[in-house]
Amino acid sequence: MNRYDATGHEAEEQPGAEPGVLRNLPGLTSLQDITEAETELLSDLSAHVLPKLLDTLTFADIQRWHHQWLGHLYQWAGQLRTVNMSKGDFHFAAADQLPRLVSTFERDFLTQLSDLETMPEETVIRYLAQSHVEFILIHPFREGNGRVSRLLLNVMALQAGFQPLDYQLWEENKEFYFKAIQAGVSGDYQHVERLVRDSLTQ
């Protein structure tokens, strides 16, 4: 399950568990059990969050989503990670930079939520792509960043008058997706814009 390298107490695995199972509150030891628990809880969270159109959204709200989702499994759910993380040679934002980065993310993207319904479609696509890339590069949580970011994208899409995105294309092209995220480091969002455009429906 754990696809990332990390250091520190949040990287601890559950004693006696299969490799990749993080230390968890119920003491689950199999990858299948922890994956099923995360999937079921995320479904519950999505059913709670998605039907509601929002006037405002803060990063604290996203942290509450994360805690609602994983709070029964992990002690650190909803908290900004305190460990540095990487995937192969690619490093996500340093943990000590997270407070500043999430504040900037809130200012640059979340404060525009109420404007989405009046934006032209191509502006919405750029907004969704850029916000997704920046969220993933920040990687604010120890686990579940990709899934929370997709929930956030769906909330934004609904606010803009679209349906939730179909992520099958993303799953089928994971290598392209990760390279597209990496391109965002230098401000090149066009590849994620392409994924969003191909996944967005009225």
- Tell me the pLDDT tens digit for each residue of 129-172: 999 999 999 999 999 999 999 999 999 999 999 999 999 999 99
Contact partners, residue 48, CB within 8 Å, separation at least 6? 68
Please name the residue that has the structure tokens 């997709």. 150
Quickly state the pLDDT bin for 187 (edges 50, 70, 90). very high
Quickly state the pLDDT bin for 61 (edges 50, 70, 90). very high
Q: What is the mean pLDDT of residues 196-201?
A: 94
Residue 129 pLDDT: 98
Contact, 150 vs 193, CB < 8 A? Answer: no
Cα angle vertex 173, ends 169, 177, to 5°?
Answer: 100
Residue 72 pLDDT: 96
- Read off the tokens for 187: 């401000």
Which of these, 94, 71, 83, 70, lies nearest to 10 by C-alpha position?
83
Superfamily of domain 5-199, CATH level 4: Fido-like domain (1.10.3290.10)
pTM of the predicted model as reported, rounded to 2 decimal places: 0.93
Residue 2 pLDDT: 41
- Summarised one tens digit per residue, pLDDT across range 167-177 is 999 999 999 99
Question: How many angstroms separate the CA atoms of 103 and 101, rounded?
Answer: 5
- Summarised one tens digit per residue, pLDDT across range 21-44 is 999 999 999 999 999 999 999 999
